[in-house]
Amino acid sequence: MKQTNQATSKLNVQIKIALLGTIAFLLMFLEFPILPAAPFLKIDFSDLPALLGTFALGPIAGIAVELIKNILVVLIKGTSTAGIGEFANFVIGAVWVIVAGFIYKRNRTIKGAILGLSLGTIALTIAGLLGNYYIFLPLYNKIVPVLSPEIINYLVTIILPFNLIKGVGVSVVTLVLYKKVSPILYNETTINAKKITN
């Protein structure tokens, strides 16, 4: 009986992660520009399901949602960056959910959520700057020459504010929605966990 409950609980978590990953993929189609200086950079809320999953199911679940989202993008939507853009999206998103998730896991309160999302936003902004400078843009430069002496200025004046705005915007929506959707994501898993320990 105990093994059956454990298997059921694990399956429920896997189903929820798969659903969140699919929703995240679909949300990528709802995008809009936020910086007049860089209309090609568009914000979407595809990281929202990953953050919700992280808070309800743990950081590993959030990472899995980010991975599923980007795999679906490559397989269904296709890639115009030889997968580098999707790789960057996954890495930066994973940094975000790891930081936010681990902080919230230690302090499951509204203050813990706000702190986690705030530090997560800072982490994703730093990851975006360092990742683009040292990894993603150099990789993409091998396909299409994009690097120039202005790269630092581009990162500071475009990438940095874009990631900050995205981080704050998605974090606010996460805080608003989490309490409403957490019973769906969390309660069933909790109930199964209680059955296992009884």
* Across 71-85, 94-108, 181-195, least confident range: 181-195
pLDDT-derived band at 193 (thresholds 50, 70, 90) equals very low
Q: pTM here?
A: 0.87
Average pLDDT over residues 12-36: 93
* Both structure tokens of 24: 């995240």
Are 90 and 71 in contact by the 8 Å Cβ rule? The answer is no
pLDDT tens for each residue of 174-183: 999 988 887 7
Most confident of 8-22, 25-39, 92-106: 92-106
pLDDT tens for each residue of 54-96: 999 999 999 999 999 999 999 999 998 889 999 999 999 999 9
In sequence order, what are the residues at sequence separation of 6 or more whose Cβ sits closer than 8 angstroms to the Cβ of residue 110? 175
**Above 90 in pLDDT, residue 173?**
yes
Helix and strand tally (H, E) in the chain?
Answer: 9, 2
Q: What is the rounded CA–CA span in Å between residue 5 and residue 121?
A: 37
Task: Kindly list the distances between the CA atom of residue 197 and the CA atoms of 6, 106, 108, in Å, as whole numbers in the listed order.
Answer: 10, 21, 21
Among all chains, which residue has been given the structure tokens 């020459």? 145
Predicted local confidence at residue 146, as pLDDT: 67
Q: Where are the domains of the chain?
A: 2-197
Average pLDDT, the chain: 88
Are 128 and 159 in contact by the 8 Å Cβ rule? The answer is yes
Give the bridge partners for 162, in sequence order. Answer: none
Average pLDDT over residues 22-36: 93
Predicted local confidence at residue 140, as pLDDT: 86
| Amino acid identity, position 94 | A
Share of the chain above pLDDT 70, in %: 89
Are 101 and 123 in contact by the 8 Å Cβ rule? The answer is no
Share of the chain above pLDDT 90, in %: 66
Predicted local confidence at residue 136, as pLDDT: 92
pLDDT tens for each residue of 130-172: 999 999 988 888 887 766 778 888 899 999 999 999 999 999 9
CATH 2.30.30.40 fits 2-197, yes or no: no
Q: What is the rounded CA–CA span in Å between residue 77 and residue 40?
A: 17
